Amino acid sequence: MVPSLHWLLLLWGLQGLCAQDYEEDYEEEVVTTRKKSKQFPSNSIPQNGRARIDEDCGLELAFLIDSSESAKDNHAQEKRFASDVMTRLQGLRLQTGRGLSSRVALLQYSSHVIIEQTFKQWRGPDDFKARISPIVYIGHGTYTTYAITNLTRIYLEESAPSSIKVAVLLFDGVSHPRNPDIFSAVADAKNQGVRFFTIGITPEANEPANIAQLRLIASSPASRYLHNLQDRGIVDKVIKEITALADEGCPLAQSQCACDKGERGPSGPPGKKGRPGEDGSPGSKGQKGEGGLSGLPGREGGEVSRGGKGDFLGHLESKGKQG
Ligand SMILES: *[C@@H]1O[C@H](CO)[C@@H](O)[C@H](O)[C@H]1NC(C)=O
């Protein structure tokens, strides 16, 4: 009896210890989860992340087409280039996943400037193509400065402050002697935030004196902003650079996540064994059992002892009969 009570007590004590262990582990886990979620709040995907990504990056792109007499043989090629670049910009996606929404203006210049289309007049790519195909070249001297000053005014009047402003100047590098100071005109435009690509239109534009002019007009670095219409893959090159500018100029605000929600990760390792359950309530009373087997026969009884003084009553009885 005594040893089994010992065992019971010991078992009960052990169970108590185990239960405590489980409880501690459980609490520990809760605490770590809480810590983790506090540690990386910026990792979570903000609710408003998508709305901002869906907002397009605005690009205002202007083509300045050389329409002087020296550009006669290249005029059609210039128009095709502008049209091809515009087409390629449609539906372009930036690295951040944002779309690019562009408005395109077109000016051609010689001794005067013809504003073929301003940003406000942008009615989409088909309209632009329809407008560009019939324009004929002017064919006088090259007054590049006028084209630039007219464009600067258009940017001032029509452009959105946050837009990427890109001017593509097509030019053979030779101005009319009476053309006003081109560098101060370009500086004004650049101060408005306009980046200048200069595209020499003829092989002669690559001659040292001409390319020096073009290089001074172009934004820097020249490797990015200075090209020639006769270069192989010129449309691709310009598209690549414009896309890079938009990627740099239209970053997503830091608090906004550019990424899509990732795939669901693999499931974690199985959890720890739970605490043992409480004792159940007592079961219902069972049915009456079957009758037991009949018992073993009893032991044989011992010898009956002889009666002695027990005769006393008998003795009295017999005495009464006598009286
Ligand atoms: C626009 O170009 C014309 C030449 O066609 C020039 O006379 C005029 O000064 C230019 N306008 C501006 C605002 O630069």
pLDDT string in tens for the chain (323-residue length): 455 666 655 556 555 554 444 444 444 444 443 433 333 333 333 334 443 566 788 999 999 999 999 899 999 999 999 999 999 998 788 888 888 999 999 999 999 999 999 999 999 999 999 999 999 999 999 999 999 999 999 999 999 888 999 999 999 888 899 999 999 999 999 999 999 999 999 998 999 999 999 999 999 999 999 999 999 999 999 999 999 999 998 877 544 455 556 678 788 888 788 788 788 888 888 888 888 788 787 777 766 655 545 444 444 444 444 43
Asked if residue 221 has a cis previous peptide bond (ω within 30° of 0), the answer is yes
Q: Quick check: 151 and 65 in contact, CB under 8 A?
A: no
Nearest CA to ligand 1 atom 13: 150
Q: Is the CB of 146 under 6 A from ligand 1?
A: yes
Instruction: Check: CB of residue 119 under 8 Å from CB of residue 75.
Output: no
CA of 133 to the centre of ligand 1 (A): 24
Strand (E) positions, the chain? 57-66, 100-109, 113-117, 164-171, 194-200, 226-228
Distance 145 CA to ligand 1 centre (A): 9
Q: If you write DSSP's letter for every residue of 10-64 in order, what string do you get?
A: HHHHHHHHHHHHHHHHHHHHHHHHHHHHHH-GGGSPPTTHHHHHTSPEEEEEEEE
- Mutating to test ligand 1, I would choose from 67, 145, 149 the residue with most ligand atoms within 8 A of its C-beta, which is 149
Would the CB of 198 count as within 6 Å of ligand 1? no
Cβ of residue 140 lying under 6 Å from some atom of ligand 1: no
Instruction: Establish whether residue 153 lines the binding site of ligand 1, counting it when its CB lies within 6 angstroms of any ligand atom.
Output: yes
Give the residues across from 168 on adjacent strands: 63, 197
Type of residue numbered 190: K
State the pLDDT at residue 124. 94
Strand, helix or coil at 300?
coil
For the CA of 114, the nearest atom of ligand 1: 5
Centroid of ligand 1 to alpha carbon of 121 (angstroms): 19
CA of 212 to the centre of ligand 1 (A): 25
Ligand 1 pocket test, candidate residues 64, 112, 113, most atoms within 8 A of CB: 113
Residue with the two structure tokens 């006088």: 140
Determine the pLDDT at residue 323: 37
Is 68 touching ligand 1 by the criterion CB < 6 Å? no
Whether 173 contacts 217, CB under 8 Å: no
Query: How far is Cα of residue 293 from the mean position of the Cα atoms in its chain?
Result: 83
In the DSSP assignment, the letter for residue 198 is E
What is the predicted pLDDT for the residue at 3?
55
Q: With a 6 A CB cut-off, is 197 part of the ligand 1 pocket? A: no
Q: Which residues pair with 167 in a beta bridge?
A: 62, 196
Is the CB of 149 inside a 6 Å radius of any atom of ligand 1?
yes
**What local confidence, expressed as pLDDT, does residue 147 receive?**
96
* CB 201, CB 71: distance < 8 Å: yes
Which contacts of 206-210 are long-range, i.e. CB under 8 A and separated by 24 or more positions?
A: 207/173, 209/173, 210/172, 210/173, 210/174
- Position 270 scores a pLDDT of 85
> Tens of pLDDT along 255-266?
445 555 667 878
Distance 84 CA to ligand 1 centre (A): 28
Q: Which residues pair with 99 in a beta bridge?
A: 93
**Is 128:122 a contact under the CB 8 Å cutoff?**
yes
**CA 187 to centroid of ligand 1, rounded, Å:** 17
Smallest CA separation from ligand 1 atom 12, residue:
150
Q: Is 152 close to ligand 1, i.e. is its CB under 6 Å away? A: no
Find the DSSP H helices in 40-72.
49-53
Report the chain's C-alpha Rg in angstroms.
Answer: 51
